[in-house]
Amino acid sequence: MRLSITEQISAIPDDSAFGLELDASPKLTAAPPVPSPRPDEPAPRDNAPVLPTPERNGPRRPTVLAGSQPPQSDTPPDSDSAGATPLAAFGWAIPPIRWGGQVGLQMSQNHNSSGANSSDIAEFLNLNASSYIYQPWFAQINGNLSLSTSQSKSSSGSQADSTSSTESISGGGQLNLFPLSRFPALLTYDVSDSNSTSNLTGTDSTTTRFGIRQSYRPESGAYNVSAGYNTSTISSSTQGDDRVDALSGSFSTRFNAQSLSANTNFSESTGNRTGQSSSLLNLNVFHNWRARDNLLVDSLATVNDNTQTFLSGGGSLSENHGRTMQLNSNVNWHPEEDEDGNIIPLNVNGGMRATTFQNDSPGSSTSTQSLSANAAASYNYSSNLSLSGNALATQVSSSASNSQVFTLLGAGANYTGDPLTFGNFSYNWNAGANGSQQSGGGSSDLTLTEQFGHNLNRAIALSKTSSMGLSFGQNASHSSSEQSGNTASLSHNASASYNTAFSDRASGNAGLNLSDTITAGANPSHYTNLNLDTRGQIQFNTLSSGSISMTLQHAINDTSSLGASDNRTAVTNIFGSASYQHARAFGVPRLRYNASLSANTTSSSSDERLAGNVNSANEDINYAIDNRFNYRIGLLDFQLRGTINSVAGQENATVFFRVTRDLGGF
């Protein structure tokens, strides 16, 4: 007699018969019988699939998304469990979540040039996570959260010591909707606190950022359009709130032999620590039409509307408003090739421009409108000689004067000699002359200018991997004008450059340029400029390397005019960076050392924020010297830093220690 499958399973003895307790192990159970169709249910057709229903086969299993684990179960769920997992009824499951973070402690000691001292101890927890919603093509999301508590102690001169304790919560996130589609959208939000970061500028601040951007491209790809909004607020107890809001938009399309593009930006900056603020609007529309291979038409329309509150010379705030609107169209043409393929070296261009300008400042208001037409042509008579001519007519009217018409006619010739070689030296020279006749405003002026220049160059091969270049030049010009008389100018320049490359381990270059220009005439001047530029990188060995990119500029300008005293100005600017890295400092495994020097005396972060840059800081770091040790063992990371910097003219020295433990696997 043969037993059925159900009878064979039932015949297996229970675990308790052997004195074992294995309740945690799975038990085989007989499959539930397939119910017969109800009387009111039509019988399925041959080969037609029978859709599962809760009454027939229990609840639907959730759809498993890419990267997630399927549910593990030894027995099919019963109908009562359907209500416990509402997502399963819709075929959804929780997507995989990547997460990680750090928990740590940091201590810092700061001293600045004003005599203030401060010490801080902070504990923090940073968490990061990323996942997606429904499917990765639908929405990708990531976020971060920072919790910190800090204790500070500060002292300044004769003042009594003060202590404080702060707790902060910061974080942010990013949502990317339809990232791979023709209409992606990006939303970002972030709040960062200097107490939970390795900020070594000596100031406590909180930065809040929010941004949204939407793009769209039709299926045909005929055009692209995008729009965005960004805002940034930097808050500190010493400088208050500094906020920048910026709107942007762009559009571009191509059709036939034409292209059209437009972009606009609007920004507002308020709360600058000096009281300065700005409201800037910029709109540009560009059209390009290649009517023929030798005929090109370009058109540009611009609108700039700026309102700025700035510090005047006396230190008081002053508001100024300016608006400029311009429409410009230019046509460029050159002859086509003849039957033999020869090209006539002639280039002709012409255009028209309409401009309106308005400026409002305390106590004065001016407006100016102008309409101009221009034409120019250039012809290369030979490889040495080129000829040119130009004409310009402009009508100008303003609130302070009547309408006037100005005209300008000019012509010129320039000759470049063939290079001459004297031993290892190369000699080049050029000469030119041009004249112009200007009339309008009840006067006329004829100006004639002659110019001659020459230079001597020498290239020196020091070795197979290094070379040096030397150059000496001189240029002289003379100009005579019916209005301003004679003006003569003489300039000298000398430069030296060095290039080297030691196989693939080191390369670099350095350049030194010195120029001197003397001008004599109605407005004599003397200008001297020195520029030193060096760049390079070197791999000392497999563990250490270095790099440098530094520029030094020094300029002296002496000016004088009739009836006025001489004026002398000298400006020195340094900007660039240098760094050194070692992956095993003092021979200790996993001990890394980094040293860096950065300097910038030419730019101002606050000016960049006034110009609408939401990503710029509101601190002017003139220079910073940073030394950093990092040691990692397992999930622990140790960092010791020492830095000296100058922020807004105040020097700071800081020692910083930080230890963190990694969490998760992000």
pLDDT digits (tens, 9 = 90+) for 313-365: 666 788 889 999 999 999 999 998 877 778 889 999 999 999 999 998 887 88
| Domains in the chain, number | 1
Mean pLDDT, residues 460-471: 90
Is position 119 within any domain?
no
Is position 575 within any domain?
yes
Query: Of 135, 130, 108, 103, whose CA–CA distance to 119 is shortest?
Result: 108
d(CA 294, CA 338): 13
Is position 89 within any domain?
no
Residue 441 pLDDT level (bands cut at 50, 70, 90): confident
Inter-residue contact 556 to 517 (CB < 8 Å)? no
d(CA 619, CA 242): 11
For residue 372, pLDDT beyond 70: yes
Token pair of 249, please?
């938009």
Is position 95 within any domain?
no
For residue 75, pLDDT beyond 50: no
d(CA 396, CA 353): 12
d(CA 639, CA 24): 48
Is position 577 within any domain?
yes
pLDDT of residue 568: 81
| Per-residue model confidence as pLDDT tens digits over 381-411 | 999 999 999 999 999 998 878 889 999 999 9
Q: Which of 23-27, 108-112, 247-251, 490-494 shows the lowest per-residue confidence on average (mean pLDDT)?
A: 23-27
Token pair of 285, please?
């529309």
Mean pLDDT of the chain: 83
pLDDT of residue 317: 80
> Tokens 């969490």 appear where?
663
Token pair of 590, please?
């996993």
Is position 534 within any domain?
yes
pTM (two decimals): 0.69
Residue 13 pLDDT level (bands cut at 50, 70, 90): very low
pLDDT of residue 464: 84
For residue 137, pLDDT beyond 80: yes
Burial class (CB in 10 A: 0-12, 13-18, 19+), 655: middle
Mean pLDDT, residues 75-94: 53
Is position 530 within any domain?
yes
Is position 69 within any domain?
no
Residue 543 pLDDT level (bands cut at 50, 70, 90): very high
566-600: b or e for each residue (b if 16 or more CB lie within 10 Å)?
eeeeeeeebbbebbbbbeebeeeeebbbbebbbbb
| Per-residue model confidence as pLDDT tens digits over 193-226 | 765 555 555 556 788 999 999 999 999 999 999 9
Domain of 516? 449-582
Mean pLDDT, residues 500-526: 89
pLDDT of residue 70: 45
Choice between 42 and 230, residue whose per-residue pLDDT is larger: 230
pLDDT of residue 621: 78
Mean pLDDT, residues 418-445: 91
- In 381-505, DSSP assigns E strands to 385-398, 401-416, 420-422, 425-440, 443-461, 466-481, 485-502
> Tokens 């000829």 appear where?
387
For residue 42, pLDDT beyond 50: no
Residue 604 pLDDT level (bands cut at 50, 70, 90): low
pLDDT of residue 606: 54
pLDDT of residue 637: 96
Token pair of 638, please?
């140790």
d(CA 313, CA 397): 31
Query: Of 414, 403, 409, 350, whose CA–CA distance to 380 is shortest?
Result: 414
